[in-house]
Amino acid sequence: MTPDADSLTPLFHGAQNHCFGCGPENPHGLRLKFSVAEDLTVVCDAIATEFYEGPPGYLHGGIIATLLDEAMSKANRARGVTAMTRHMSVDYLRPVPSNTPIRILGHVTRSEGRKHWTTAEIQSREGKTLAKATGLFIAIHV
């Protein structure tokens, strides 16, 4: 189930300004803004422009992976954990259009010591899953 926009709280996590995924100071970045639902799922409503295309009208596969990776990373941050990707697996189910609203969701499914298992998905504005990922993140000390 997709969280309702009214039940979301903006995620403030002290990201470095030049992060490609979420940094507001990166002129080439995606500048994603995540919010947190009551169950700690992170949510980002976004539009990726033609600057991130592979085939005309659709996002590049590497950008799709970046969006999913960012959502999984932010899911850890929503729990107060700073972690880096150890492994991720992406399923590209349908083409992800550029210049069209999408919703990106991330969730931590399990934690054990420094290891955190996560999932993410990109949905169309109609709620269809376009791509999904699973990942293993390792907490770092900052």
Instruction: Please check whether residue 13 is in contact with residue 35, taking contact to mean a CB–CB distance below 8 angstroms.
Output: no
Find the catalytic residue in 4, 6, 45, 69: 69
Q: What is the dihedral of CA 115, 135, 68, 74, to 10 degrees?
A: -10
In the residue annotation, 69 being an active-site residue is answered as yes
Instruction: Please check whether residue 71 is in contact with residue 21, taking contact to mean a CB–CB distance below 8 angstroms.
Output: no
Which residues participate in catalysis according to the annotation? 69
